[in-house]
Amino acid sequence: MGKLLSISFDFDYYPLLIILAIAWLIPMLMTFFRIKRIPTVVLEILAGYFVGKYLLGSTSQESLKYVEFLALTGFIFLMFLSGLEINMDQIISSLPRRRIRLQSVFRNPLIVGLIVFFLTLLLSFVGSLIIDNFVRLENIWYFSLIMVTTSVGIILPVLKNRGEVKTGFGQAVIVAAAVADVFSIVLFTITAFVLKEGLRFDLLWIMLLAGSFIVLYIAGKLLSRFSFYEKFTFQLSHAASQIKVRGTMLLILVFVVLSQVIGKEVILLGAFLGGLLLSIFLHKDRSLLLLKLDGMGYGFFIPVFFIMVGVKFNAQALLEFDRSLYVFLALLIVTLYTVKVIPALIWSRLFGFRKAISGGFLISSRLSLIIAASTIGLELGVISEGVNACFIMMAIVTCLLSPVLYDQINKKSKFPADKTVIVGGSSTAVLLARRMKMHNRDVVLIEKDKVRCDEINGKGIRCIQGDGTDVSVYNKVKLLEQNYVVILTPSDDENIKISGLLRKDMNHERVITKANKQRIQKILNKLEVEYFDVTRLVAVAIESLIIRPTTYHTLIESFESYHVEEMEISNSNIDGVQIKDIPIHSDCTLMLIRRANNMYIPHGETYLKRGDVVNVFGTVTALDDIRSKFV
């Protein structure tokens, strides 16, 4: 028993102490100095280089072994979380459900993402051939694969900060990045296996991973049908058990061990598939479990990986290029951007030239995958230490430069187009148009009946005669992706048909309609269309008249004097400032603050942050004043 419980205390924890101190200090300093444009991992790599040179230089390799194990675990966790970031529901919903027509190809984000990827792969190979004329490359195909990579982890935060994740353009960029991640990892794995083992039947063992993915997917589907399983997992998800976290770690190791059986170069794909599988099953639990996994990964393992990348960075390896170093770096950075920007021009057909170019620069961000692919290539001997060092440098440059270029080219309008398109010329539609105009928002109605259309125009409201089921009418009103479309025709079937046209064929996100029946609500839910229940609204209005009559009359009868408005805080000057330190207009009140998935009732001690959505009640003048401070 004594031997079983004996623990060795011979490990040297000094290297881990230094690394974790750096991992803790960097976010603190970035927050203190308000450094927001630089990703944390960039500073971790840079800090790791100096730590390795000046603080860990005399540390024995034996002492660094367990730190390298933790770094490898961080790398596996990073690949797992990369798979978890991919929204499989989004990709599945992008699959064509009808015969593909030429005009609908460019509106499908998945098809366009595939076209962008294969064009990028072709251009990368051509670019590698050109570079090979100046600097000798060991393996042109593998070198071109490294340049295909992108970084969903950089792209998502940029789009989230600008509120573009749910727009058609944002979805197109995210799907293209996800496709690049999936396909590049598969191609890396196959290429690395062939380079090491040769083109043999053993390559088919990689199918074992695909088979395991399918088997575990089916098992997960079957388990989810049993109520006792959900009951047990809920009971054991908290306190000491944390069964979902344990299950996630088990899932990662199942794929990692299977990958090791096939070959260590397959671990990358195995960890990624584990994250992809969990992504399929995470829906309502997503935020809670992701919070725990992010805490484990980004709180401990992943920083160790990136800092160790810096520690292991060999600056002396750059000397192998001699005088050709600057030529190689210049060719590399130009090629890394060119191979992404040119294919992205396919988006100009839908979103315009500026947005397409900016999207190309954004998907040029590279970080974890390019470092991983380069490291594997170094181990396989298909790239040199100097080329590996250059790719690490390019990862830092692209993830710093790409978001800045994106913001500069695709500048966010300070006063976005607030046009609302209303389909249907009912009295409700006319009343809505009048109320929207009181908010200084442009409104245009679409009505089939010519007599009714002329009548609405006679009331001073812009109305266009046309059929809401015809795509050309939306081109006529110059529908933009940020515009809301409200469908208020008398027919439920017609509302559904128009909703389907806007969501599926036009990929328009902001659609609102009405639904009184559960059958219709289910259809609209599948289409991801916002809807309101007229019956419920009437009941709520009567309830308000009985329970809170003063509030009801204030909002309804004094509409022209007082308004409730949502404002997203984008002014960096009040980021981190307490409400009591902001001169709030006397004729308005801050009612509610939404931060991510949480709601807060504001008070004087509350700190405001960029990205907060604040509900403000007050007069038009007061709202204009508060808007000038917040936006």
Q: For residue 622, what are its two tokens?
A: 């007061």
- Cα(46)–Cα(42) distance, integer angstroms: 6
State mean pLDDT over 336-350. Answer: 92
pLDDT greater at residue 600 or residue 377: 377
Kindly report, residue by residue over 307-331, the tens digit of the pLDDT. Answer: 999 998 988 888 888 778 889 999 9
State mean pLDDT over 455-469. Answer: 91
Q: Quick one: how many helices (H) and strands (E) in the chain?
A: 29, 10
Give CA torsion, residues 275, 278, 283, 287, to 10 deg: -50
In this predicted structure, the answer to whether residue 304 has a pLDDT above a threshold of 90 is yes
- On the 0-12 / 13-18 / 19+ scale of CB atoms within 10 A, 40 is middle
pLDDT greater at residue 8 or residue 47: 47
pLDDT of residue 343: 95
pLDDT greater at residue 536 or residue 241: 536
pLDDT of residue 73: 92
Kindly report, residue by residue over 263-285, the tens digit of the pLDDT. Answer: 777 888 888 889 888 888 875 44
State mean pLDDT over 373-392. Answer: 89
State mean pLDDT over 174-200. Answer: 84
- Return phi, psi of residue 585, to 5°: -60, 140
pLDDT of residue 210: 84
Percentage of the chain with pLDDT > 90? 26
User: H or E element: which one contains 619?
Assistant: strand 613-619
- Cα(15)–Cα(17) distance, integer angstroms: 5
- Cα(437)–Cα(419) distance, integer angstroms: 10
Place 108 in a pLDDT band, splitting at 50, 70 and 90: confident
State mean pLDDT over 55-75. Answer: 86
pLDDT of residue 181: 83
**Global pTM exceeds 0.75:** no
Kindly report, residue by residue over 199-241, the tens digit of the pLDDT. Answer: 777 677 888 888 888 898 888 888 877 776 666 666 666 656 6
Place 414 in a pLDDT band, splitting at 50, 70 and 90: very low
pLDDT greater at residue 619 or residue 630: 630
- On the 0-12 / 13-18 / 19+ scale of CB atoms within 10 A, 629 is middle
Q: Enumerate the β-bridge partners of residue 585.
A: none
Provide the 8-state DSSP code for 607.
Answer: B
pLDDT of residue 443: 92
In this predicted structure, the answer to whether residue 70 has a pLDDT above a threshold of 90 is yes
Place 423 in a pLDDT band, splitting at 50, 70 and 90: very high
Place 188 in a pLDDT band, splitting at 50, 70 and 90: confident
Kindly report, residue by residue over 30-56, the tens digit of the pLDDT. Answer: 878 877 777 888 899 999 999 998 888
Three-state SS annotation for 533-602 = CHHHHHHHHHHHHHHCHHHHHHHHHCCCCEEEEEEECCCHHHCCCEHHHCCCCCCEEEEEEEECCEEECC
Task: Give one DSSP letter per residue of 386-405, joined into a string.
Answer: HHHHHHHHHHHHHHHHHHHH
Kindly report, residue by residue over 82-93, the tens digit of the pLDDT. Answer: 788 776 666 666
In this predicted structure, the answer to whether residue 426 has a pLDDT above a threshold of 50 is yes
- Which domains occur in the chain, in start order? 15-94+110-409 (1.20.1530.20), 420-540 (3.40.50.720), 561-630 (3.30.70.1450)
Q: Enumerate the β-bridge partners of residue 484.
A: 420
pLDDT of residue 496: 92
Kindly report, residue by residue over 561-604, the tens digit of the pLDDT. Answer: 667 788 888 887 888 788 888 888 777 788 888 876 677 788 87
- Cα(454)–Cα(441) distance, integer angstroms: 21
State mean pLDDT over 182-203. Answer: 82
pLDDT of residue 99: 62
Kindly report, residue by residue over 598-624, the tens digit of the pLDDT. Answer: 777 888 778 888 888 888 887 777 787
- 257-261, 343-347, 476-480, 563-567: range with lowest mean pLDDT: 563-567
**Helical H segments across 166-226, by residue range:** 168-197, 206-224
Identify the top-confidence range among 137-141, 192-196, 261-265.
Answer: 137-141
Helix (H, G, I), strand (E, B) or coil at 154: helix
* Averaged confidence pLDDT in the chain: 83
